[in-house]
Amino acid sequence: SARELGARLREREEAAAMLREKLRAMENKVAEKRASEAALVRHNDSLTAALMEKESEEARLAEQVRGQAAKLSELEHTVGDLRARLKEAASAARRQEFELRQHEETEAALAERVKKETADKAARWKEYTAMEASLQGRLREREADEARLAERVHQLELAAEVADVKLGEMVAREAALLAQLED
């Protein structure tokens, strides 16, 4: 009976040893599982942090894009203004060119008329040929200046008046001579 008790006690001890072994194995598994869970939590935290960083970067980039779009819009507005100004300037230049051409044509016509009048007066009043040539020379030199052309016309009119006065004097002299002859 002591043997039987000894045998049972050994069986119990062996069973207890096996249970302790199983318990250690289970504890190891639990520890591994906890370590694995902790690693997963860390990995998850790291992914969350990366995602938040990416979202922050995307927000920053979106803000940059908005800023660039605003700048682009401003530049387009400025370019539009500049194009409008350029168009206006080109139009003004064309208008001035047209006015200048008209002005030059008027001046040329006036100079031509002055030359013609001068030539006609020279043909009628041969004694003033030298003065007419001098006036024509001065007119050719200053065709571009309207004010001086007007002054020359005035000078020509004065010359015609002088000629008329001289003609009047000649007529008066002739009348006086006729009167003497009749006496």
**C-alpha gyration radius of the chain:** 60
- Residues of the chain with pLDDT > 70: what percent? 86
Is the Cβ–Cβ distance between 114 and 156 less than 8 Å? yes
Q: What 8-state DSSP symbol labels residue 127?
A: G
- What confidence score (pLDDT) does residue 2 get? 81
Q: Exposed e or buried b for every residue in 151-168, given b needs 16+ CB within 10 A?
A: ebbeebeebeeebeeeee
Q: Which two tokens stand for residue 44?
A: 């998850």
Answering whether pTM is above 0.75, one says no
Taking residues 75-94, what's their average pLDDT? 95
| Residues whose CB is less than 8 angstroms from the CB of residue 117 and which lie 6 or more positions away in sequence, other chains included | 156
Structure confidence at residue 63 as a pLDDT band (50, 70, 90): very high
Q: Three-class SS of residue 92? A: helix
* Residue pLDDT, tens place only, 97-111: 999 999 999 999 999
Tell which residue, 83, 145, 75, has the closest CA to residue 114. 145
Q: What is the rounded average pLDDT for all residues in the chain?
A: 88
- pLDDT exceeds 90 at position 134: no
Residue 44 pLDDT grade (very low, low, confident, very high; cuts 50, 70, 90) = very high
Q: Is the pLDDT of residue 140 over 80?
A: no
CB distance 5 to 11 below 8 Å: no
Spatial contact of 132 and 153, defined as CB atoms under 8 Å apart: no
pLDDT of residue 179: 87
Structure tokens at 100: 């200048």
Tally: H helices and E strands in the chain: 3, 0
Total residues belonging to the chain: 183
pLDDT at position 152:
76
Q: What is the pLDDT of residue 131?
A: 61
Choose the weakest-confidence range: 71-80, 148-157, 169-178. Answer: 148-157
CA distance 65 to 29: 53
For residue 181, name the pLDDT band (cuts at 50, 70, 90): confident
Pick the more confident residue, 56 or 145: 56
